[in-house]
Amino acid sequence: MTGFASLPPVPAARPAQDDLEALREIHGLLAGERFALLTGAGLSTDSGIPDYRGPGAAPRAPMTYQEFIGAPENRRRYWARNHIGWSRMRRADPNDGHAAAALLEQRGLLTGLITQNVDRLHEDAGSVNVVDLHGRFDQVTCLACHRRYSRTLLAGVLEELNPGFLEEALAAGVVETAPDADATVEDAELIAGFVVANCPACGGTLKPDFVYFGENVPKDRVERSYAMVDAAAALLVAGSSLTVMSGLRFVRHAAKQGKDVVIINRGPTRGDDLATIKLEAGVSESLSWLAAELPGL
């Protein structure tokens, strides 16, 4: 890395010839029907945001909620790393896959869109009926008074509290950035000196407004997501390994109702045994092809 420049989008390619056969089969299942769409981190890789578990992804151990609230040094480490990751991820743009999802909605094909991503790129691309299952990385919340603040506002506060930190972190070396804007930094001493911002209203602990490992997804989001699946004739999963139950539950729910489950993902998923069709292919190009070929309702 040479600076905190915009993340370079990766152009979506046309589906490979072998993949087209499977896509035509998927087309046959979905044509004339409204379906629910569940997306994961694999959709945002073409926007330059790394995946957690895709092929080639480095092993990661994300901080749990219990670790975050358990010790001030954990929160210092988290916010220092997040400050670096945010400086990069906030510049990401939607890719062709996000645009395709928005087009599917505009043409009346979706009962709704459930995303496990916190990057808000679906909304940036024009999708409206979206459940941000794991929350959103552009907001922070106070654990004491529950006020919410813009992550952009917090970035300015952190820059004032830690002048020159980003430049020093860059020189120290950012190894990788995760889908939740967490960054790995090699310089432990640099992290140890980071000053954490507290809630400006009550002085309480600020936390990113998304679901950590060890936290439960809010009930209203789960219920709204189930309603999208209930109203659909099929469920299309795009770019999720379904490793966590928060997404897998909807695949199980659809399969239990006898609905077709289509999975497009590079690498195995926990829902493969429930899938009517599993396609190991690029998510952006596959969604783009489907959005272009499926007739609107």
CA–CA dist 180, 191 (Å, integer): 18
Q: What are the CA-CA distances from residue 204 to residues 9, 78, 144, 198 (Å)?
A: 37, 16, 5, 6
Catalytic residue among 98, 134, 146, 253: 134
Number of helical (H) and strand (E) elements in the chain, helices listed first? 11, 11
DSSP letter for each residue of 227-249: HHHHT-SEEEEES----SHHHHH
Q: Are 98 and 288 in contact (CB under 8 A)?
A: no
With CA atoms as reference, report the closest residue to 88 among 180, 177, 165, 185.
177
CA–CA dist 115, 283 (Å, integer): 14
Angle among Cα 261, 294, 35 to the nearest 5 degrees reads 35
Distance of CA 166 to the CA centre of its chain: 24
Characterize the bridge pairing of strands 206-210 and 183-185: unpaired
> Is 134 a known active-site residue?
yes
CA–CA dist 203, 206 (Å, integer): 9
Active site residues: 134
